[in-house]
Amino acid sequence: DTEVTQTPKHLVMGMTNKKSLKCEQHMGHRAMYWYKQKAKKPPELMFVYSYEKLSINESVPSRFSPECPNSSLLNLHLHALQPEDSALYLCASSGGTSGRATYNEQFFGPGTRLTVL
């Protein structure tokens, strides 16, 4: 299985809602990532988990809260978002066989298209 799955595919939420994005991989990868991608822009790194520990937080606002329950799952909890947070949220994973978890090809999921009203 060389696939990263993400649910839901689309999400519309109000600014007072709480929702979660989910990501799953069964490739035995030990590094997992969240990216945010606005239209016609490259993906921007948000968080990196390496061996289930948060290793990089790119100064993301606290209304985004990542969670890695186990080596196969990655969640992104959303609360009190703003309309400018509307974007495609991409999850990725990579093998962490070297000392640097990002030193390998990243496999991306299809993303969750988030709209904040």
Partner 1 sequence: GESVGLHLPTLSVQEGDNSIINCAYSNSASDYFIWYKQESGKGPQFIIDIRSNMDKRQGQRVTVLLNKTVKHLSLQIAATQPGDSAVYFCADTYQKVTFGTGTKLQVIP
Binding site for partner 1 (CB under 8 A): 4, 33, 40-45, 48, 56, 58, 90, 92, 100, 102-103, 105-111
Least distance to partner 1, CB of residue 54, Å: 13
Q: Which is nearer to partner 1, 71 or 94 (CB)?
A: 94
**Residue (51 or 103) nearer to partner 1, CB:** 103
Range 18-35 burial, b when 16+ CB lie within 10 A, else e: ebebbbbbeeebbbbbbb
The CA distance from 106 to 64, in Å, is 22
Beta carbon of residue 79, minimum distance to partner 1 (angstroms, whole number): 24
